Structure 1
């Protein structure tokens, strides 16, 4: 009876239903993306084989190392400002778009320097620049920020689903026609173009116009002043999320990158869950802060509880089924990926908590501390990779990732007094079955 009353109360709350519908749209799209994308990705991996798939994954990882300059850490900040004052929409979106576009060209310039300093073969260089060119079209993701701030993510979902299905059809066509590796890189670029076109279409459909966007120098300074710690944090996140594949390529070779990447894709396929839920509930958390401190921290605790135990529920079965799952999906040629998956999947527990706590850092204006903890994890990851990869191969890289996520997303929060409350809330989430007394905020 109590559960029925709570459900009835939730239905009567228009605000709660609005956020629930928004989350449902995002979650549905991401589940579809995970299912279709994973299936097509596995097909591509089987078609290319460990060596070519390893080179393709290496190129994507190499580009990601510079991608923070394209995103500029503006996502949460722009959404927060739009929630606070929608009347500044055109200035905010126009300024954020211009900054992201500049960042995209900066990525391409940095790649030129990186290739010059560490020459690669012609195929690898071509893959780098084709994949990196997609960041130009990703500047239109600022429209996504607007839809998130208005809890209208269904339009983002429409765009993502269309681009996903179209790119999937193209990839299948390429496989059937035995296309070369470089063709798959062009699909990434085309996918970004289609997605940007979808965002623009639905923005105009809402009787809004990108022609009204304008660049404001004062707004740009304000955004960059808040986002620079997140830019640095993004760079460091990119480093410790993808540096392992770059280091494996340099230390072991493309085949090993292919084996490792196959496992990582199965492990990271779940990472959309905390991103969707946290992004969708972020406006609700910000609104709760305006009402009361108790409600604010109550919602954050509920978010952490959900994140921790969803990740654990995923990690346990994946641990026992890893070898069987890899063999079923990728085939015998990826025989080392199962052991990597068994280790790497437990990083999800701390990734889920880390994504959720990242929203708290933005809400509190503590982006610099988010950067510090990420930097600590990245340094640890690189150091452990240098030690463990020569000794344990790709399994050592998986151990390094797990340890760095544990430190960056959880343990480091206890170091600083301002972030210690997050460590307490995360600990309470991990100890949920044993929690008996309420926490005093």
Structure 2
């Protein structure tokens, strides 16, 4: 072992939290990489197989459901992870209250999304069926409350393993459907059940470690959570509209074909989201604790994190812009060539 390796080794031993952080970050990065690779391979294959028209139809339905996701999960992840880290004795009440509230809002959002598309596009029966199927994911995601507890315990490794397992299962089914030339609605079904697979895998991960055996509903915690999150729910909903309204307008004005082309470009551009999501998820609980123990160091760490966000995002966006033509042709084929200037 040379001097540099020895220095790193002894520094790591002196700071066990650093080892845990690095391990969590590594697993989260692996999970995000696998997710992106599957989206850019199996997802691109699905786009090729469906063609821009059907792919655009599916993208429209997914976009419509995404508008309700922030409401269904209460936009409460940050608050819940923070409270679980700060008040571990109340974990069973926090988790039970969040789960029940998410389950109720998920069902309501599913119903509202189906009613909304019926009145928004009464003649578009295909979109109605797709949204009816995809909307079930709003209910399934309530089970992902388990993930918040794992995050609060810095057990992101278990979360990552569970999600990787779910991605592999869901995409294996997608490949089978592609080989069978299955109809469009089956791909909507697997997109919805992927959330269900993730919930099951997270539940298994939760049970595999020392856990709270029984969750409890607490009215006081529920009311406090609603009080804390309602501004975020409203802003998140309108933020989702702001970010996704382009796809809805493209479909309504230019049609499914144009949206399919646009959605292909958007899929690749989302690669740049990996680093910010990984860092935010992995560092969240530790940064939250640091705010109360060392405010000065907390501010320094926040500044450092945002610098990393900026420079990595800039680097990835430049790479995508330079290789946009190669990426579109290689992944999606000639039928999506119009996506090149959009991605660029």
Q: What band does the TM-score fall into relative to the shorter chain?
A: over 0.9
**Matching of residue 36 in structure 1 with residue 45 in structure 2:** no
Change (3 A) 1:229 1:7: farther
Which residue of structure 2 aligns with residue 265 of structure 1?
A: 267
Shift of 1:278: 0.9
Partner of 2:139: 136
In the alignment of these two chains, the number of paired residues is: 341
SS in 2 for 1:178: coil
Aligned residue number for residue 49 of structure 2: 47
CA–CA distance in structure 2, aligned partners of residues 296 and 120 of structure 1? 54
Whole-angstrom distance in 2 between the partners of 1:43 and 1:263: 14
CA contact (8 A) 1:65 1:243 kept: no
Structure with greater contact order relative to length (CA < 8 Å, sep ≥ 6): 2
After TM superposition, give the deviation of residue 4 of structure 1 in Å.
7.2
So what's the TM-score if we normalise by structure 2? 0.95
**1:144 and 1:156 in contact (8 A); partners too:** yes
The secondary structure found in structure 2 opposite 1:151 is: coil
Give the SS at the match of 2:323.
Answer: helix
Task: Give the structure 1 partner of residue 117 of structure 2.
Answer: 115
Deviation at 1:46, TM superposition (A): 0.4
**Structure 2 equivalent of residue 359 of structure 1:** none
Contact conserved, 1:37 with 1:164, CA < 8 A, in 2? no
**Alignment CA distance shift 1:221-1:204 (3 Å):** same
Q: Separation in 2 of the partners of 1:290 and 1:9?
A: 25
Which of the numbers 188, 192, 200 marks the counterpart of 2:191? 188
Question: Hey, what's the Cα distance between the residues in 1 that align with 2:29 and 2:230?
Answer: 30
CA RMSD of aligned residues (A): 1.7
Name the CA distance, whole Å, in 2 between partners of 1:245 and 1:283: 35
In structure 2, distance between residues paired with 1:233 and 1:284: 26
- Pair 1:75 & 2:77 matched: yes
Distance in 2 separating the partners of 1:120 and 1:173: 31
1:319 aligns with 2:321: yes
Q: Which residue of 2 aligns with 1:333?
A: 335
Residue segments in structure 2 that go unaligned for 5+ positions in a row: none
The answer for the alignment partner of 1:98 in structure 2 is 100
- Compared CA separation, residues 3 and 163, structure 1 to 2 (3 A): same
Where in structure 2 are the equivalents of 1:52-63 lying within 5 Å? 52-63=54-65
Aligned position for 2:238: 236
Structure 1 position 10, deviation (Å): 3.8
CA distance in 2, matches of 1:230, 1:254: 32
Is this contact kept in 1: 2:50–2:184, CA < 8 A? yes
Q: Deviations over 1:14-48 (max 9, x none)?
A: 11211111111111111111112221100000000
TM-aligned CA distance change 1:120 to 1:269, over 3 Å = farther
CA distance in 1, matches of 2:210, 2:277: 28
Q: How much has 1:3 moved relative to structure 2? A: 9.5
- C-alpha distance in 1, partners of 2:284/2:82? 9
Closer/same/farther in 2, CA of residues 302 and 3 from structure 1, 3 Å limit? farther
Q: What do the CA deviations read for 1:180-234 (whole angstroms, capped 9, x no partner)? A: 0000011012212211111112222224356x11111100011111111111122
Q: Mind listing any 5+ residue stretches in structure 1 that lack a counterpart?
A: 343-441
